[in-house]
Structure formats: structure tokens, C-alpha cells
Amino acid sequence: MKQKDIEALSAKELKEKIQEEKQILLKMDVAHKISQAENPMKIRTTRKLIARLSTELTKKSKAASK
């Protein structure tokens, strides 16, 4: 997901997307602990996406409170 796409999302959509990505990350982590993941870089990219989504949500909530 590109930064422009993330910035276009509303706060509600950001929260929903964060929840979805966290569930995906949890499943990937469990699968990776049981057996070697076919692409372990997906775990890293998912964590980074969650961080970018969370950062944008924080920006939007601070802007709304001003």
C-alpha cells in the first residue's frame, strides 16, 4: 500500500485496516513458528505497513483535536 493510499483513508478505515493487518501478522507469525515461512520478508513488510497506518491515524487524530 502506497503512502498516498494511506493518506486518503479516513480514521475509521485506518482503524479497520490496522485490525486486518494485525490479524494477518498474527497468522503469519504462528505459521512461521510452526514451520519455515515461504517468504519471511512478508512479516517485515506487514509490520512496517501497520506502523505506517498507525502513524497516519495519529496524525489524523491530532489534526482533528486542534
Query: Where exactly are the structural domains of the chain?
Result: 11-60
Cβ-proximal residues to 37 (8 Å cutoff; 6+ apart), any chain: 28, 31, 43
**pLDDT tens by residue, 2-60:** 999 999 999 999 999 999 999 999 999 999 999 987 788 999 999 999 999 999 999 99
Give this prediction's pTM: 0.91
Q: Any idea what DSSP says for residue 40?
A: T
